[in-house]
Amino acid sequence: MSFQIAIDGPAGAGKSTIAKRVAKIKEFIYVDTGAMYRAMGYYLMKQNVGPYDEAAIEEHCVNADITIAYENGEQVVFLNGENVNGVIRTEAVGNMASATSKNPKVRERLTALQKELARTNNVVMDGRDIGTCVLPFADVKIYLTASSAVRAKRRYDELTAKGVACDLAQIEEDIIKRDHQDMNREVAPLKQAEDAHLVDSSYMTIEEVVDTILKLCEK
Ligand code: DC
């Protein structure tokens, strides 16, 4: 049986940073499910499908062949054979992923791929519905969150460090909008699983969060 660590939470809570570190220490594979939804969003954008055009999303999503591979321990996402790791990291693709991930057919395709990965590997998997839908029997479930103000400030610092001009209030507004969209959709909304441990990282360091998760794995 594989060992499964599920980490869910809103955008910008630090899921991927934490999940990557835990995976490295445990020597598990890290599965970033958001990247799969982003690859799908990117594909649909390229097909000129509108974010709320459910019929067109259903028609086109079946033509997106999304697979993942590991290169030097890093997850690489392929869309119809093309490495899309770089191009899926924009805000526009993130927002398209959030909108199109509401579609049940999109979720069905990507959930099947995620379940299969976790069946055959020890995983740290992060996303929105991992503990609730994808891996309901995960060994350890974490709901990682932080206040919207803290998440916005982290994002602002990241962008500013890269020399990108941005507006803190606008970033927080976008985060709140994305939370609302991810938490209020009909299928597999973001919510804390009943048996998930709540970790609020607002005033914790990365090391403290990682330690908390490692301790839970030992229990
Ligand atoms: O974690 P992220 O920002 O890369 O995810 C992008 C969007 O994908 C997110 O806003 C909602 C969707 N998503 C999802 O619906 N289910 C997941 N397990 C992961 C992401």
CATH number for the domain including 79?
A: 3.40.50.300
* Burial of residue 47 (number of CB atoms within 10 Å: 0-12, 13-18, 19+): middle
Ligand 1, from 8, 37, 42: best to mutate by most atoms within 8 Å of Cβ?
37
Phi, psi for 71 (deg, rounded to 5): -120, 120
Which residue CA neighbors atom 6 of ligand 1 most closely? 34
102 shares its domain with 148? no
157 shares its domain with 113? no
Give residue 150's pLDDT. 97
Q: How far is the CA of 34 from the centre of ligand 1 (A)?
A: 4
The domain boundary residue, chosen from 67, 90, 121: 121
Phi, psi for 187 (deg, rounded to 5): -95, 130
Give residue 219's pLDDT. 84
The domain boundary residue, chosen from 76, 101, 121: 121
Write the DSSP assignment of 152-182 as a string of letters. Answer: HHHHHHHHHHTT----HHHHHHHHHHHHHHH
Q: pLDDT tens string for the chain (219 positions)? A: 899 999 999 999 999 999 999 999 999 999 999 999 999 999 999 999 999 999 999 999 999 999 999 998 889 999 999 999 999 999 899 999 999 999 999 999 999 999 999 999 999 999 999 999 999 999 999 999 999 999 999 999 988 998 999 999 999 999 999 999 999 999 999 999 999 999 999 999 999 999 999 999 998
Give residue 73's pLDDT. 83
**Residue 151 and residue 14: Cα distance in Å, rounded?**
8
130 shares its domain with 114? no
Q: How far is the CA of 9 from the centre of ligand 1 (A)?
A: 10
Range of the domain at 77: 30-121
The sign of the dihedral angle between the CA atoms of 100, 103, 107, 108 is negative
**Residue 42 and residue 63: Cα distance in Å, rounded?**
13
One-letter amino acid at 42 equals: Y
The domain boundary residue, chosen from 121, 154, 180: 121
80 shares its domain with 103? yes
Q: How far is the CA of 89 from the centre of ligand 1 (A)?
A: 12
Which residue CA neighbors atom 20 of ligand 1 most closely? 34
169 shares its domain with 92? no
Query: Is any ligand 1 atom within 6 A of the Cβ of residue 33?
Result: yes
130 shares its domain with 80? no
Which residue CA neighbors atom 2 of ligand 1 most closely? 34
Pairing type for strands 66-71 and 74-79 reads antiparallel
101 shares its domain with 176? no
Overall domain count for the chain: 2
110 shares its domain with 131? no
Q: Which two tokens stand for residue 30?
A: 């890290």
Query: Is any ligand 1 atom within 6 A of the Cβ of residue 10?
Result: no
Segment holding 131, helix H or strand E:
none
- pTM listed for this prediction: 0.95
44 shares its domain with 117? yes
5 shares its domain with 62? no
Instruction: Give the 3-state secondary structure of residue 80.
Output: coil
42 shares its domain with 108? yes
**Residue 167 and residue 175: Cα distance in Å, rounded?**
12
104 shares its domain with 134? no
Query: Is any ligand 1 atom within 6 A of the Cβ of residue 182?
Result: yes
Instruction: Give the 3-state secondary structure of residue 146.
Output: coil
